[in-house]
Amino acid sequence: MKRVVILVFTFLPSFLFAQGVRTVTDKNNTAYKAPDWAKGVVWYQIFPERFRDGDTTNQPNRERARGPEGWHPSSWTQDWYKTDTWEADQSDDFYASTTTRRYGGDLQGVIDKLDYLKELGVGAIYFNPVFDAQSMHKYDASYYHHIDRNFGPDPEGDVALFAAENPGDPTTWKWTSADSLFLKLIQEAHSRDIKVVIDGVWNHTGTEFWAFQDVVKNQEQSPYKNWYEVNSFDNPATKDKNEFDYEGWWGHKSLPVFREENENLVKPIREHIIAVTRRWMDPNGDGNPADGIDGWRLDVAEEVGKEWWKEWHALVREINPKAITVAEIWTEKAKEFISADMFTSVMNYRFAYAAKDFLIDDRIDTKEFARRLKQIEEDYPEGAGHVLQNLMDSHDAARLASIIVNPGKEYDREGHPRDGFEVRKPNEQERQIQRLVALFQFTWKGAPMIYYGTESGMWGPDDPDDRKPMVWADMTYEPETHHPFGKERKPDENNFNKELFAYYQNLAEVRNSEPALQKGDAKFVYQDPAKKLVVFSRTYNGETVWVVLNRSDAVQRLDLRKWTGKKKLKDLISGQISSAARLQVKPVSGFILK
């Protein structure tokens, strides 16, 4: 049965246009301040096309996917490395067809699983792009002011609404079925006390973006010709060739880059993005942002001028002072962008590097581990440490379980099977390392972020293998028996890992119930390079939680009375009471003690 969604909204007829063209200056933000809700919150990252198919009537078609003859949507539960006939006919290279695959994940699927996220302990969702785009990853937007047509219940009807608009004039913008379903998703998430943050890509668009299409069609006569970094326009006098050329993001012509002047996007682009920002942060334009998103994650943030970020952040904080903005910056350069007038937080890949080098690769000692973590905190304004997105994996890196299977490989540089990266399922010893990593991730200062499926046992090398369909408990999946390069492998059972889910759920419950783990100071009180043992404390309002990490393969014994002043301590994971004087820590394990 076709799912029909009917939502009614009342809007001020010209609010988008009237507010969209206004330049905003930030007069109130004189000091860095992070929203309280974001301090230590448990994040969950969703790649929409691969999370859950909640509506089987809205599947992408062959034309939209740009698939070959015989193309059809891929089976959700099929062995990831097994190719369909249409893929095998296209190429012998497994990776030649994966960008064309579609699995049908949509917004209804997310709504259907909000209770699952609440049960897991999630307090905030970060969505990879949800705006209308041709690709499965959606970083090639066709429209910023519309949700992807195949994420909603009526793709054909939404396309008809696109055609009824002038996308350059916000007063003509409609609300499609996908847009309305997204607003319902926000409402449903908020009713469960879950925040919603979406991906903004203000550096580049796709070639199907409405303004770029106008440039392609009208060349120098296009009113949008100055939106992009155009190298040359087509010369109509030369009928046998097309001289049109432009800058693509990192050379990718599928992602034309916006034009900047003086570290700022040119004015017409700024005006359009301002209108888009208002649309999603305050959908009905009544001045109350409760019906809108709770913040933004910004793609390739360091590749966009700082003057733009200052102007845009002033707008964001004017609309919703409690909104968060998260920069995608992988290196120490991030410290230039976290400030009172720019970003609130960053995807903390430096955290992932440190945790990988100590807890997984075992190639740095406890002193270097502690030094790196302290340096991260010192690099940002006071208060920022509590809201850094502490992640281990994402859509841009191999999954945590596979990083553990392949120790010693450089993070995000050697994560592909072409680099000798193994594709197999982790064994029990490797799962134990994952549990130790998760324990650290959920107890260190900052906000832990789970990449969808990490908690359910998913594994996979770097892009595209890190973007498999989510493994759900109510589905039965084919074992993985194929290899991307045709090598022999042992069959790997691939179903929902209930034990691992329960462990992540337990960690989130402990974190959400202990203010010290959410907002407390972090201090290393003991570390022993020889024993590969560290102890750190988290203190808030006079209450302290101690965390013990044992990376070694041996049982370690500790006397914690010196730091705790207690005879007995309770392990918040197991609930067991232990002697502070004779604490025994099993190999590759840890405690959360109070």
CATH number at residue 570: 2.60.40.1180
**Would the pLDDT of 5 be above 50?**
no
| pLDDT single digits (tens) 80-102 | 999 999 999 888 899 998 999 99
**Would the pLDDT of 16 be above 80?**
no
State which of 224, 256, 288 marks the end of a domain. Answer: 256
Q: What is the pLDDT of residue 9?
A: 33
Q: How confident is the model at residue 171 (pLDDT cuts 50, 70, 90)?
A: very high
Domain-embedded: residue 21? no
Task: Tell me the residue range of the domain where 226 lies.
Answer: 210-256
Domain-embedded: residue 144? no
**Would the pLDDT of 558 be above 70?**
yes
Domain-embedded: residue 565? yes
Domain-embedded: residue 18? no
Q: What is the pLDDT of residue 228?
A: 98
Domain-embedded: residue 269? no
Domain-embedded: residue 572? yes
Domain-embedded: residue 239? yes
**Would the pLDDT of 138 be above 90?**
yes
- With residue 498 as reference, give the H or E element that holds it: helix 498-513
Q: What is the pLDDT of residue 7?
A: 36
To 10 degrees, the CA torsion angle through 22, 28, 29, 33? -120
Domain total in the chain: 2
Question: Cis ω on the peptide bond leading into residue 153 (within 30° of 0)?
Answer: no
Q: What is the pLDDT of residue 17?
A: 31
Nearest to 79 by CA among 441, 531, 476, 394: 476
Angle of CA points 282, 286, 288, to nearest 5°: 60
Per the listing, tokens 């904080």 go with: 317
Start-to-end CA span in the chain (Å): 53
Q: What is the pLDDT of residue 182?
A: 98
Per the listing, tokens 């302990």 go with: 121
Cα–Cα dist 590/570, whole Å: 13
Q: What is the pLDDT of residue 239?
A: 87
Q: How confident is the model at residue 23 (pLDDT cuts 50, 70, 90)?
A: very low
Arithmetic mean of pLDDT, 545-564? 96
Q: How confident is the model at residue 25 (pLDDT cuts 50, 70, 90)?
A: very low
Arithmetic mean of pLDDT, 220-226? 97
Arithmetic mean of pLDDT, 110-119? 98
**Domain with 224 in it: what CATH number?**
3.90.400
DSSP string over 260-317: EETTEE-HHHHHHHHHHHHHHHSTT-SS-GGGS-SEEEETTGGGS-HHHHHHHHHHHH
Q: What is the pLDDT of residue 355?
A: 98
Domain-embedded: residue 524? yes
| pLDDT single digits (tens) 282-337 | 999 999 999 999 999 999 999 999 999 999 999 999 999 999 999 999 999 999 99
Arithmetic mean of pLDDT, 411-422? 95
Cα–Cα dist 224/457, whole Å: 47
What global pTM score does this model have? Answer: 0.94
Nearest to 73 by CA among 95, 58, 88: 58
Angle of CA points 180, 185, 186, to nearest 5°: 100
| pLDDT single digits (tens) 424-467 | 999 999 999 999 999 999 999 999 999 999 999 999 999 999 99
Contact present, 212 and 247 (Cβ < 8 Å): no
**Would the pLDDT of 12 be above 70?**
no
**183-to-190, 280, 323 alpha-carbon distances in Å:** 11, 9, 17
To 10 degrees, the CA torsion angle through 296, 297, 300, 302? 70
| pLDDT single digits (tens) 292-305 | 999 999 999 999 99
The two tokens of residue 268 are 């017409």
Arithmetic mean of pLDDT, 136-162? 98
β-strand 533-540 against 521-528: which pairing, if any?
A: antiparallel
